[in-house]
Structure 1
Amino acid sequence: MNIERAERLQKLPPYLFQELDRLRDQVRARGVDIIDLGVGDPDQPTPPHIIEALNAAAQDPRTHKYPAYSGLSRFREVAADWYKRRFDVDLIPNQEVITLIGSKEGLAHFPLAFVNPGDVVLTPSPAYPVYKGSTILAGGVPVEMPLRKENGFLPDLAAMDPALLQKAKVMVINYPNNPTAACADLEFYERVAALAKKHEIIVVSDAAYTEMAYDGYRPPSFMQVAGAREVGIEFHSLSKTYNMTGWRIGFAVGNAQLVAGLGQVKSQIDSGAFDAVQLAGITALTASQDCVAQMNKLYAGRREVLVKGLQGLGLEVERPKATFYVWCGVPAGQTSTDFCRKLLEEAGVVSTPGVGFGSAGEGYVRFALTVDEARLQEAVDRLAGLGL
């Protein structure tokens, strides 16, 4: 029997991190001690008070039934309260907030609600691969918005083709940015909102890294600017902020029609996030945020070790203000894929090729600050031995 996958799957590129895992495991099988700076998965445990909240909630039989599709009312209220405290944005919990099984799930399902076959979706490049992949799965046409160093890794809105903007249905933005660690200010968000309103474009803002910031910097939200709620939806995750990547809990906020459309898709696909995880999420969002500050202090120390080390090797790298990524230029004459393969095979250090995030990522690699300072220094020392 000849079994062929659907055309939509055949159009998808290989998922970046699956390929990285395969190469890493091949090298590890040779007995190499691997320092994995590839995938952005926090190495520290979830804070104890959040685990305790989950344990207590899981013991309650009331959490063992199907959850509400849009999430616990209390979780959505707490998410709205958090937005008010953090960004001074007022939200209507039962209309403008929805619980997600992690922000990736929401981002992946959103195009199914609003993108028709042939619709243009403007996706940043380099970017989290899910934006492009979910567009393809919905039958849309992803068109890359290049993020260049000379423009602060922001899309050059003024240079965008008016004819393309007229065709566009959705624009995706992501700040603080993965993979470049670039940050956006309110003036940029104001320009995005104005552009979206003029051309009737839906704005999808992925804000998963707003709480991972350093040196007193507090990243803003797209929802803070006038007009954002009219044109956009913003996705948040508890994964990186509270070391909860495996828990799968997040939320989206914004335009009530966009939230409802996403909810309609989710009602056909999943049965909501486990109530006990939502209750633990409530604890995360309402309890002391000292654990977040402590993690940021930890990452800031790691950042200094890696950035100074890479700069000492003559590599082009800037100190990030947010996220736990370091975006590093590759040596002249090498591609990002070749450079990553060299680091892995000759030094046992895993990084991520920039081209895997989109064509505009060529010339860079991404390092994740997901090992301790001693291991980061060891990684730098190994790289030094390669004579880069």
Structure 2
Amino acid sequence: MIQTAKRLESVQEYYFSKKLREVNQLISEGKPIINMGIGSPDLIPHSSVIDAIKNAMTDHKAHEYQSYQGLAELRKEMTTFYQNQFDVSMDFASEILPLMGSKEGIMHISMAFLNKSDEVLIPNPGYPTYAAVTELVQAKPVFYDLTAANNWMPDFEKLEQMNLSKVKIMWVCYPHMPTGANATLEVFEKLIAFGKKHQILIVNDNPYSFVLNDNPMSIFQAKGAKDIALELNSLSKTFNMSGWRVGMVLGNKNFIDAVLKVKSNMDSGMFYGIQKGAVEALKLKSDWFENQNVIYSKRRELIFELSSQLKCSFNAKSVGLFVWAKLPNTSHSSEQFIDDLLHEKHLFVTPGTIFGSNGEGYIRFSLCVDEVKINEALSRFKA
């Protein structure tokens, strides 16, 4: 028999890949499932973005291989976006690299900077892909605790007590997924100081800044961040382009060059039309975000009501595309709780445990569900 690589022994199939098969099976059986588990925007991109990809189809270079670094026009627009939204200056020629979604950036960064047995600081709770990719490149995940008591921020005193001698990368994600906690400039400054002290690359994964957030921030607003940090960003949530797969990584030239060495061996450039659409998205004015957030705000209020129906508690000041809710005192685990919801009320939400052990006792609702469906879900508890 042909044996799979040993690296696969340390990773599991992505939770949603597996769970959605069960959800889809229930749907095929006629069950009226309402899916509040996935953070995939159901809203559509701006009409100018769709027009841009349509119009690009007849450009004479549209169907050729594209540059591994993306169109200069796209990189310029990405850096302009950072200047306008975060007051952060980046060199479009050397300090930004477009990606086919920021998720691929997690792999590219890991391959560029990690050797076998290097260690990686990973938030608990946090995005499961950080740990999975770390395992795939044969490095070692080292989880650091985030807790509600500390507003889901790193505990730097505890971090300093750890053996950090083998740590090469620290993953952070602010605004935080799944909890919706928003970092302050002081937290970013502490992260940069920590990274410099221990020579750890700090990588902030930042796709949620503009969803229900009055204070969008970049880690590069912290002094000296370019010396020790990278930041991932994405058009998926901000511009309803998750299926387009457009992201970016930003940092100093040496770091970006290292990531490019990996990326240039793994794809042949992003499709021209998608890049042209992304350019138009990045040009959108502030009313785009305001209009999106009017919709998400209404949905969030309904999700708050649904959470209350479930006797869950939540932080009404959290930001981002999700509602992180603490379960009432119960003997059920998070996974048992959501399975009961799925089979008894035909409602799918995400158990907090898929984000780490500190997610036990929590569930996560997505705001990527229209008001009609949320109201329908509510009706199932009021009946």
Give the Cα–Cα distance (whole angstroms) in 1 for the partners of residues 247 and 310 of structure 2. Answer: 39
Conserved? CA contact 1:27–1:344, under 8 Å: no
The reply on whether 1:299 has 2:296 as its aligned counterpart is yes
Counterpart residue type for residue 354 of structure 2: G
Q: Deviations over 1:91-114 (max 9, x none)?
A: 111111001001111122210000
**Cross-structure match for 2:354:** 356
Counterpart residue type for residue 210 of structure 2: E
The reply on whether 1:193 has 2:192 as its aligned counterpart is yes
**Cross-structure match for 2:50:** 51
* Matched residue count: 382
The reply on whether 1:368 has 2:339 as its aligned counterpart is no
**Cross-structure match for 1:227:** 224
The reply on whether 1:290 has 2:287 as its aligned counterpart is yes
The reply on whether 1:329 has 2:322 as its aligned counterpart is no
Conserved? CA contact 1:306–1:377, under 8 Å: no
Give the Cα–Cα distance (whole angstroms) in 2 for the partners of residues 334 and 155 of structure 1. Answer: 28
Give the Cα–Cα distance (whole angstroms) in 1 for the partners of residues 293 and 93 of structure 2. Answer: 32
Counterpart residue type for residue 266 of structure 1: K
Conserved? CA contact 1:12–1:133, under 8 Å: yes
Conserved? CA contact 1:343–1:383, under 8 Å: no
Q: Deviations over 1:349-379 (max 9, x none)?
A: 0111111111211111111011122321222
Q: 1:255, CA displacement in angstroms? A: 2.1
Q: Deviations over 1:251-270 (max 9, x none)?
A: 11112211111111001111
**Cross-structure match for 1:319:** 316
Q: Secondary structure at the match of 1:319?
A: coil
Conserved? CA contact 2:62–2:272, under 8 Å: yes
**Cross-structure match for 2:208:** 209
Give the Cα–Cα distance (whole angstroms) in 1 for the partners of residues 326 and 256 of structure 2. Answer: 38
Give the Cα–Cα distance (whole angstroms) in 2 for the partners of residues 154 and 301 of structure 1. Answer: 27
The reply on whether 1:19 has 2:4 as its aligned counterpart is no
Q: 1:45, CA displacement in angstroms? A: 1.5
Conserved? CA contact 2:179–2:318, under 8 Å: no
Gaps of 5+ in 1: none
Q: Secondary structure at the match of 2:202?
A: strand
Q: How is 1:138-153 mapped onto 2 (pairs within 5 angstroms)? A: 138-153=137-152
Q: Deviations over 1:174-193 (max 9, x none)?
A: 01111111111100000000
Q: 1:77, CA displacement in angstroms? A: 1.1
Counterpart residue type for residue 93 of structure 1: F
The reply on whether 1:89 has 2:88 as its aligned counterpart is yes
Q: 1:33, CA displacement in angstroms? A: 0.4
**Cross-structure match for 1:127:** 126
Q: 1:381, CA displacement in angstroms? A: 3.2
Give the Cα–Cα distance (whole angstroms) in 2 for the partners of residues 3 and 330 of structure 1. Answer: 45
After the TM superposition, list the runs of 4 or more consecutive aligned residues in structure 1 that deviate by more than 3 angstroms. none
Conserved? CA contact 1:233–1:254, under 8 Å: yes
Counterpart residue type for residue 245 of structure 1: S
Which of 230, 240, 245 aligns to 2:242? It is 245
Gaps of 5+ in 2: none
Counterpart residue type for residue 145 of structure 1: Y
Counterpart residue type for residue 196 of structure 2: K
Report the RMSD for the aligned CA atoms in angstroms. 1.4
Structure 1 residues 195 and 384 mapped into 2: Cα distance closer, same or farther (>3 Å)? farther
